[in-house]
Amino acid sequence: MVNVEEFIDEATTEIREAVGDANAIIALSGGVDSSVAAALAYRAIGDQLTPVYVDTGLMRKGETDQIRETFAFMDSLEVVEAQGRFLDALAGVTDPEEKRHVIGEQFIREFEREARETNAEYLVQGTIYPDRIESEGNIKSHHNVGGLPDVVDFEGIVEPVRDLYKDEVREVARALDLEAVISERMPFPGPGLAVRIIGEVTEEKLAVARDANHVVEEEVAEHDPWQAFAAVIGKATGVKGDNRVHGWVVSVRSVESRDGMTARAQNLPWETLQRIQSRITGENDDVARVVYDVTHKPPATIEYE
């Protein structure tokens, strides 16, 4: 385990040296990685920093409001309402890698605009070690690594937690006094709910994914998973109130892990699974069935795309 106090000192110094007197913006997603990167950068360069949170429309229920609240202490926090632009960019895109690429590019475009407005020359990102490994191994490209367009206006990119594992980032978060809502938060992918929707991202599927993720997080909280979520994976037949439904199939996944490199599908009680099933099909007219993913990693990855 990394020495947390030493790490914070070193990372803060590194950010200060890299950015100098210039301005920087931080891609704040609300996840523990970017929150720690943001807190470190804020500590290092204070007002020179603009934390930018982009509401992509791919966020979880209530997420944007929660971000506003948690990071209210950073005066320069910018919340960008980009929901429409992301959905437009994603229209018709079905290939998983293309999806990540489109989102990555749109992210960067949003950031570039904010950077110009704040005269920021540096971009800070919360990339962690496993992100880099998975990108290098071509398993999946991560939006904060693989999706970067060739032409970036920034002078440089600073990734202060690039050598840490998730469990180590959490240690740092606790040492930085970030609220438990951040430090103990489940991992959430950069491309958001888009990678929990197989095929094209539409408003209809997003609404299902958002509600189903909320249900899963609530219902499994007491089982303390490393990560738990729902994905919209296709369509199938159902019958609701004597009517045939050709509705969405929602896959529920709940895993135990230390570092995300390997994961075990959680042995959830049948009652919990049934309650999840009942709520998701009951609250969403167009969901025909709910399935539970029992696959470990390997051979599956944790997320679907």
Partner 1 sequence: MSEPRIVVIDNHGQFTHLEGRALRDVGVDTEILDNDTDPADIDADGLVLSGGPSMDRVGRCADYLDLDVPVFGICLGLQFIAEELGGRVESGDYGGYADVDVRIRDGEDPLVGSLAPETRTWASHADEVVEAPEGFAVTADSDVCGVEAMSDTDRDLYGVQWHPEVSHTERGQEVFENFVSICE
The window from 143-151, 190-198, 240-248, 291-299 that contacts partner 1 (CB under 8 A) reads 291-299
Q: Collapsing DSSP states into helix, strand and coil, what is residue 166?
A: helix
Q: How far is CA 191 from CA 3, 105, 188, in A?
A: 31, 11, 9
76 is in an annotated binding site: no
When the beta carbons of 16 and 292 are compared against partner 1, the nearer one is 292
Ramachandran angles phi, psi of 255, nearest 5°: -130, 155
When the beta carbons of 116 and 264 are compared against partner 1, the nearer one is 264
Q: Is 175 among the residues that bind partner 1 (CB under 8 A)?
A: no
**What is the smallest separation between the CB atom of 135 and partner 1, expressed in angstroms?**
11
29 is in an annotated binding site: yes
Give the Cα separation of 63 and 72 in Å (integer).
Answer: 14
Residues of span 229-258 touching partner 1 by CB under 8 A:
257-258
305, 99 in Cβ contact below 8 A? yes
User: How many residues form the binding site for partner 1 (CB under 8 A)?
Assistant: 19
**What is the smallest separation between the CB atom of 136 and partner 1, expressed in angstroms?**
8
Q: Could you say which of 119, 262, 274, 278 contacts partner 1 (CB under 8 A)? A: 262
Burial class (CB in 10 A: 0-12, 13-18, 19+), 150: exposed
The window from 56-64, 130-138, 188-196, 279-287 that contacts partner 1 (CB under 8 A) reads 130-138
Give the Cα separation of 305 and 237 in Å (integer).
Answer: 24
When the beta carbons of 44 and 128 are compared against partner 1, the nearer one is 128
Nearest-5° Cα angle at 90, 50 to 108 = 25
259 is in an annotated binding site: no
Q: How far is CA 293 from CA 21, 143, 198, 264, 266, in A?
A: 50, 25, 15, 11, 9
Residues 6+ away with beta carbon under 8 Å from 230: 196, 209, 212, 213, 215, 216, 250, 251, 252, 253, 280
32 is in an annotated binding site: yes
Dmax over CA atoms of the chain, in Å, equals 68
Q: Could you say which of 112, 134, 171, 211 contacts partner 1 (CB under 8 A)? A: 134
The window from 4-12, 89-97, 117-125, 262-270 that contacts partner 1 (CB under 8 A) reads 262-270
Binding residues for partner 1, rule: CB under 8 A, are 1, 129, 133-134, 136-137, 139, 165, 257-259, 261-264, 296-299
Task: Tell me the binding residues for ATP.
Answer: 29-35
Task: Tell me the binding residues.
Answer: 29-35
